[in-house]
């Protein structure tokens, strides 16, 4: 070793050491926020596992003024002295428990369930178990009336309500197991779309009561003052009732409003992004057309994506024959940078 060093020293001039590279300046640590600093919201965020995600649509959370809070145990639309769970229990009826929602358990290990049962959900865990987005219409006509039915009368819950003016109301964090779609509750997110519903021709009187008739610009919704967050006239996206087959029945229904379609596409894109196991697609036949009946048990077990209430339960027909599946899904796919679905007629044309 010593000889090698000596030979090396004699073989040439002593190398001059390079000048050291100046150290990069240390970035100053960001200043800690002043205690009490308010964190602004834009008003388009939804809550998923405690995190806020922008939608681009108007959103009212359960904690916002004018929101609908499904975490409360009392009834919302009765005098306060009659609203408590104790008073509700005395009345009997369908509201059987103080809570109208539960805890997701399917797909979790025992250790994961112990962690989340008290509220300790993280986004990756929720992404692992949620893979369906279920579309309902509320048969109430407005989100205010929908929440009254769910919270005060039926003891049920839903994550989102979509009003006729395009306002999205979130009543629970998506991490909760809302009671809206029986066997799909553990794995799904649900939305109630404000619409009076679909009916056989002989039972279609609600359509006449809920929409004006004979107007030059087409029918508009008969909404009472104070029912909506915004003012204006709201009309179905297509002027005539739409007829189509759901669950083997011929049904008639007025379409959603353009404001609802716009917000629903944005919410769908948001959920498919934050919860990527929800595919931006709907249940389709081999030719690409919409499946208009309930999925078989094996089909439902393996299905991941957007679907209707009627795909889950044989006694349901919502979101009905007027619902434009391709419009919602293709607009959401465009926001996600995905190609549109193959061009197949999945929503019937307006009746002539």
312/296 Cα distance (integer angstroms): 9
> pLDDT above 90 covers what percent of the chain?
83
* The pLDDT of residue 298: 97
pLDDT at 346 over 70: no
pLDDT in tens, 69-126: 999 999 999 999 999 999 999 988 999 999 999 999 999 999 999 999 988 899 999 9
SS (H, E, C) 272-300: HHHCCCCCCCCCECCCCCECCCCCCHHHH
Residues 325-336 have pLDDT tens digits of 999 999 999 999
Nearest to 122 by CA among 336, 275, 255: 275
d(CA 320, CA 175): 27
Distance CA 253, CA 321 (A): 7
Q: Answer yes or no: is pLDDT of 223 > 80.
A: yes
Contact 147, 328 (CB under 8 A): no
Q: Is the pLDDT of residue 32 over 50?
A: yes
In the predicted structure, residue 271 carries a pLDDT above the cut 60:
yes
Alpha-carbon span 321 to 162, nearest angstrom: 18
What does the DSSP 8-state code read for residue 348? Answer: P
193 versus 5: which is more confidently predicted?
Answer: 193
Q: Once rounded to an integer, what is the mean pLDDT over residues 126-152? A: 98
Confidence at residue 1, expressed as pLDDT on a 0 to 100 scale:
38
The Cα 291–Cα 16 span in angstroms is 79
**What confidence tier does 62 reach under pLDDT thresholds 50, 70, 90?**
very high
Q: Which of 18-27, 131-140, 253-262 has the lowest mean pLDDT?
A: 18-27
Instruction: Reply yes or no: is the peptide bond before residue 319 cis, omega within 30 of 0.
Output: yes
- What share of the chain in percent tops pLDDT 70? 90
User: Going from the N-terminus, what domains does the chain have, and what CATH number goes with each?
Assistant: 45-335 (3.40.80.10)
Phi, psi (degrees; rounded to nearest 5) at 302: -100, -5
Which pLDDT score is estimated for 240?
Answer: 94
Confidence (pLDDT) at 31 = 82
Separation of alpha carbons 169 and 132, rounded Å: 19
Which segment of 22-31, 275-284, 303-312 scores lowest on mean pLDDT?
A: 22-31
Q: What pLDDT is attached to residue 257?
A: 98
User: Are 181 and 312 in contact, with CB atoms under 8 Å apart?
Assistant: yes
pLDDT of residue 10: 41
The DSSP symbol for 26 reads P
At residue 171 the predicted structure's pLDDT band, cuts being 50, 70 and 90, is: very high
Task: Kindly report which listed range (191-200, 308-317, 339-348) carries the lowest average pLDDT score.
Answer: 339-348
Six-digit token string for 100:
């109208």
At residue 38, does pLDDT exceed 60? Answer: yes
Mean pLDDT of the chain: 91
β-strand partners of 307: 134
């Amino acid at each position: 070793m010593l000889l090698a060093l000596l030979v090396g020293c004699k073989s040439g001039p002593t190398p001059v050491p390079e000048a050291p590279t100046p150290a990069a300046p240390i970035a100053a640590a960001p200043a800690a926020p002043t205690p009490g600093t308010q964190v602004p919201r834009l008003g388009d965020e939804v809550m998923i596992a405690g995190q806020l995600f922008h939608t681009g649509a108007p959103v009212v959370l359960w904690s916002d003024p004018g929101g609908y809070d499904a975490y409360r145990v009392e009834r919302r639309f009765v005098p306060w002295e009659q609203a408590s769970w104790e008073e509700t229990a005395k009345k009997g009826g369908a509201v059987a428990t103080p809570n109208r929602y539960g805890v997701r358990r399917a797909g979790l290990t025992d250790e994961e369930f112990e962690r989340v049962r008290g509220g300790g959900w993280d986004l990756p865990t929720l992404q692992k178990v949620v893979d369906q987005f279920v579309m309902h219409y509320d048969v109430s006509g407005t989100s205010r009336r929908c929440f009254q039915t769910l919270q005060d009368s039926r003891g049920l819950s839903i994550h989102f309500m979509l009003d006729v003016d395009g306002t999205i109301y979130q009543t629970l964090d998506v991490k909760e197991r809302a009671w809206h779609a029986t066997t799909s509750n553990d794995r799904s997110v649900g939305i109630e779309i404000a619409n009076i519903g679909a009916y056989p021709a002989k039972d279609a009187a609600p359509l006449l009561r809920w929409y004006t008739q004979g107007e030059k610009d087409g029918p508009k919704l008969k909404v009472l003052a104070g029912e909506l967050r915004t003012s204006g006239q709201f009309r179905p996206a297509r002027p005539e009732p739409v007829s189509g087959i759901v669950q083997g029945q011929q049904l008639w229904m007025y379409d959603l409003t353009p404001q609802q379609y716009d917000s629903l596409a944005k919410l769908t894109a948001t959920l498919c992004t934050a919860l990527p196991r929800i595919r931006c697609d709907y249940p389709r036949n081999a030719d690409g057309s919409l499946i208009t009946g309930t999925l078989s048990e094996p089909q439902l077990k393996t299905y991941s994506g957007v679907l209707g209430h009627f795909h889950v339960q044989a006694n349901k027909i919502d979101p009905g024959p007027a619902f434009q599946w391709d419009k919602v899904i293709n607009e959401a796919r465009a926001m996600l940078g995905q190609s549109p679905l193959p061009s197949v007629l999945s929503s019937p044309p307006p009746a002539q």
